[in-house]
Structure 1
């Protein structure tokens, strides 16, 4: 898997997926099992629609459906979701992230002393650490979360076949769709998230 960086928000865990397959066969896939178990969630009219197919595959590839996910979300982020706008149907990437007070510009930080997000001491990340609410609830706490919504109008989407003679073809379509989305999420949103919660936090 790709190492985490300030602009890497999501990555595919394909090696882990194959390792956790039941049979050890080359095409066996933990993600594939989840896809076939949830195929009734993919409407017939959405099977050939690249955006609708991607939203369905992504919802299965990420927590809470798969945990750990086929697509891993950087531990310091709360969620990276794909959805379609209820207004015009366009594909939208939604990134939810805790924002610590120190990541805000000086002039907009809380004007009084309160507890903030803390590093999850039970997290085992090879990079950024997951955040959690303070265990000590005896003092006031102010927890800030940002939600970044970005249209994906310029993305290149994988075209699914829509009908699959064997399960392996469905799995291959889903893997290609989410892998392409991972690349484009990192490219389109990585720098914006880095300016919010990275070293440049507060300097949009």
Structure 2
């Protein structure tokens, strides 16, 4: 898998997906099992719509449906979702993330002393990137837990065109994996630098 970095927000766990397949066959896929289980959630008219198909495949390939997901979200983020605008149907990327006090510019940090903040989850472990954040364990002291929602239109992406009919499961899996791969690359390119400025090394230096 791709290594986490300040601008890498999502990645695909393709090797794990194949390893966790039931049969061990080269084309077996854990993601594929979930896709077929949830195929009825995809409307017939959306099966050839690149945006609707991508949103469906993304939802299937991430939590809470798949855990761990075919698409992995960087542990220090909350969630990375894809949706379509109710206004005009455009594809939107929605990222929700905790924001620690120290990641804000000095002059806009909370005006309180001894206020608890998000804490690193001491029971989670990541050998190649940031750890998950959690509520402070000490609940006897006040806490101010800030979070941000970043919503970006994905207008410039060249989306994968799904076939719409899949006589064998492998063709559905291939369409879904290609659609998701476009989104993973697009999210890291579009949102990665913005998130890095919010909660990465550049945090507080906008």
Query: TM class, shorter-chain normalised?
Result: over 0.9
| In the alignment, structure 1 residue 169 sits paired with structure 2 residue 171 | yes
The correspondence of residues 90-109 of structure 1 with structure 2, limited to 5 A, is 90-109=90-109
Per-residue deviation at 1:155?
0.8
- Equivalent in 130, 145, 153 of residue 143 of structure 1: 145
Report the equivalent of 1:124: 125
Report the equivalent of 1:72: 72
CA distance in 1, matches of 2:142, 2:87: 39
Q: TM-score, normalised by structure 1?
A: 0.99
Query: CA deviation digits over 1:75-94, x for unaligned, max 9?
Result: 00000000001111100000
| In the alignment, structure 1 residue 85 sits paired with structure 2 residue 85 | yes
Per-residue deviation at 1:180?
1.1
Query: CA deviation digits over 1:135-172, x for unaligned, max 9?
Result: 11000000001000000011110000011111110010
Aligned with 1:53: secondary structure?
Answer: helix
Q: TM-score, normalised by structure 2?
A: 0.98
Aligned with 1:128: secondary structure?
Answer: coil
Per-residue deviation at 1:11?
0.2
CA distance in 1, matches of 2:116, 2:88: 40
Query: CA deviation digits over 1:107-153, x for unaligned, max 9?
Result: 11010121000000111212111000011100000000100000001
Per-residue deviation at 1:68?
0.3
| In the alignment, structure 1 residue 43 sits paired with structure 2 residue 46 | no
CA distance in 2, matches of 1:107, 1:90: 36
Runs of 4+, deviation exceeding 3 Å: none
Report the equivalent of 2:23: 23
The correspondence of residues 44-59 of structure 1 with structure 2, limited to 5 A, is 44-59=44-59
| In the alignment, structure 1 residue 4 sits paired with structure 2 residue 40 | no
- CA RMSD of superposed structures (Å): 0.6
Q: Runs of 5+ in structure 2 lacking a partner?
A: none
Aligned residues: 204
